[in-house]
């Protein structure tokens, strides 16, 4: 069976199903106000008690449970007051089977921006084998069916969501068993592209602020996006993203940002090892969250520290002394960088062990941001020398080796390779 519910969890599972069902409005499966949060809470609790195949994503598992609750609610032959674990499990199995037999199909995700279309000379970026295409307002009008949303989205002077004749729209075609799977894949790739563009735009910039500040990202997250099926008809409602209002961007005078972003995507695409590529992708994404949430100084510092941990392959057996040595190894003035990083190590410890967040400043962010940017850029340029994550780890493990030690290791490795050929 694809679905398992341990016997000791059966009573809890029945209770959570009943409680989730009680969140629906009378005569419907809609939720309002506090019941929205309560319903989602019961979904999370159910996910801890109902085990689904591990190859499913979190959202797919959540979708199966959600659809099962709705189906049980709508099934007139089932009395919710006396529902059994067998009825629950049978419905979850049915929803899983429906998902499993779905044939992958292509979806188109449209993400609006306030980038001036004519300021972009490129017509696509490539990330992980997927083209992120640059589309115009006229192209959308001509090629997509917006149905009842057309009047809402396309007004003569644009809308609050920035559908405007002068702006750029990113188009990503993605395959998935359903629009949720396809949308998640497309969104991750767009966010990686946005992270890379913002990395280039803010590289080695220093910021000084007083009080609360807006994000310093050049390209903000989109306010909403749209999903279309393989016949380019809109699927569902526009997906709203709660964030700051986007700012208009004209790349005519600073096109080097796009050119340099293209160089980074090319280097990233050239990494053949999936885990090693993911190491860089995660680093760019977390770095970007610092730019998006710059007003939270302590969070920004810890996010940048997290990037340093990723880039130094910091793991359970590592120490923060290891991390300091590994970072400094990429710079000429090693002792200087060891001293600087040690200051942040002390601030981190004060927060972790004492909860003190008052000691973080924008000067801290500027310093650790600069180190992170240089390290990330340096490692990406040298990625072919390391080949994969294990190669990078091997480099770190041998930092304290003498030249004689390394020559002996090389001789031994050459001997082993020679023996293997026989």
Q: Where are the chain's structural domains?
A: 4-100, 105-253, 296-404
Helix 10-21 to helix 58-74 angle (10° resolution) is 70
pTM above 0.85, yes or no: no
Average pLDDT for residues 170-193, to the nearest whole number?
A: 91
Lowest mean pLDDT among 62-76, 96-110, 346-360, 373-387: 346-360
* pLDDT of 163 higher than 80: no
Report the pLDDT value the prediction gives residue 151, as an integer from 0 to 100. Answer: 61
Contact between 210 and 218 (Cβ < 8 Å): no
Q: Which pair of tokens denotes residue 242?
A: 């709660």
Please report, rounded to a whole number, the percentage of residues in the chain having pLDDT higher than 90: 53
How confident is the model over 378-395, as a mean pLDDT?
A: 94
Nearest to 372 by CA among 290, 272, 266, 278: 290
Instruction: Calculate mean pLDDT across residues 146-172.
Output: 71
For 256-307, the pLDDT digits (tens) are 999 999 999 999 999 999 999 999 999 999 999 999 888 777 888 889 999 9
Q: Residue 352's pLDDT is what? A: 72
The yes-or-no verdict on residue 157 having pLDDT over 60 is: no
Helix, strand, coil shares of the chain as percentages rounded to 5? 55, 10, 30
Q: What is the pLDDT of residues 31-73, one digit of tens each?
A: 888 999 999 999 999 999 999 998 888 888 999 999 999 999 9
Query: What separation in angstroms does the CA of 249 have from each of 92, 252, 279?
Result: 47, 9, 29
Does residue 393 contact residue 290 with C-beta atoms inside 8 Å? Answer: no
Share of the chain above pLDDT 70, in %: 94
Answer positive or negative: Cα dihedral of 11, 96, 107, 276.
positive
Which comes out higher in pLDDT, residue 45 or 212?
A: 45
When pLDDT is cut at 50, 70 and 90, the band that residue 87 belongs to is very high
Output 171 or 101, whichever has higher pLDDT: 171
């Amino acid at each position: 069976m694809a679905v398992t519910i341990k016997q000791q969890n059966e009573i809890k599972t029945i209770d959570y199903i009943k409680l989730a069902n009680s969140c629906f409005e009378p005569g419907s499966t809609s939720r309002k106000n506090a019941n929205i949060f309560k319903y989602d809470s019961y979904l999370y609790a159910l996910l801890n008690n109902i085990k689904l195949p591990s190859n499913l994503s979190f959202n797919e598992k959540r979708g199966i449970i959600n659809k099962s609750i709705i189906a049980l609610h709508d099934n007139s032959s089932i009395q919710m007051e006396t529902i059994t674990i067998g009825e629950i499990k049978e419905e979850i199995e049915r929803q899983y089977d429906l998902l499993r037999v779905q044939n992958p199909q292509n979806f188109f995700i449209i993400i609006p921006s306030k980038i001036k279309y004519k300021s972009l000379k490129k017509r696509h970026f490539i990330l992980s084998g997927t083209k992120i295409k640059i589309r115009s307002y006229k192209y959308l009008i001509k090629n997509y069916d917006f149905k009842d949303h057309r009047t809402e989205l396309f007004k003569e002077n644009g809308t609050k969501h920035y559908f405007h004749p002068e702006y750029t729209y990113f188009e990503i075609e993605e395959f998935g068993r359903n629009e949720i799977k396809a949308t998640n894949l497309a969104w991750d790739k767009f966010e990686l592209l946005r992270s890379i563009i913002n990395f280039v735009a803010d590289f080695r910039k220093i910021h000084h602020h007083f009080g609360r500040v807006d994000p310093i990202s050049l390209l903000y997250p989109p306010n909403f996006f749209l999903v279309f099926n393989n016949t380019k008809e809109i699927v569902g409602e526009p997906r709203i993203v709660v964030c700051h209002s986007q700012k208009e961007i004209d790349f005519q005078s600073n096109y080097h940002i796009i050119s340099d972003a293209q160089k980074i995507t090319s280097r990233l695409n050239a990494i053949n090892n999936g885990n090693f590529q993911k190491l860089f992708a995660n680093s760019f994404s977390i770095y970007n969250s610092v730019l998006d949430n710059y007003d939270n100084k302590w969070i920004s510092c810890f996010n940048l520290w997290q990037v340093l941990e990723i880039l130094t392959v910091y793991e359970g057996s590592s120490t923060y002394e290891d991390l300091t040595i590994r970072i400094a190894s990429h710079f000429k003035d090693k002792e200087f960088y060891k001293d600087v990083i040690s200051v942040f190590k002390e601030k981190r410890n004060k927060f972790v062990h004492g909860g003190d967040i008052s000691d973080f400043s924008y000067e801290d962010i500027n310093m650790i941001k600069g180190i992170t940017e240089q390290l990330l850029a340096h490692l990406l340029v040298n990625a072919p020398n390391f080949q994969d994550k294990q190669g990078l780890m091997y480099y770190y493990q041998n930092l304290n080796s003498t030249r004689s030690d390394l020559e002996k290791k090389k001789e031994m490795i050459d001997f082993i390779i020679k023996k293997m050929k026989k």
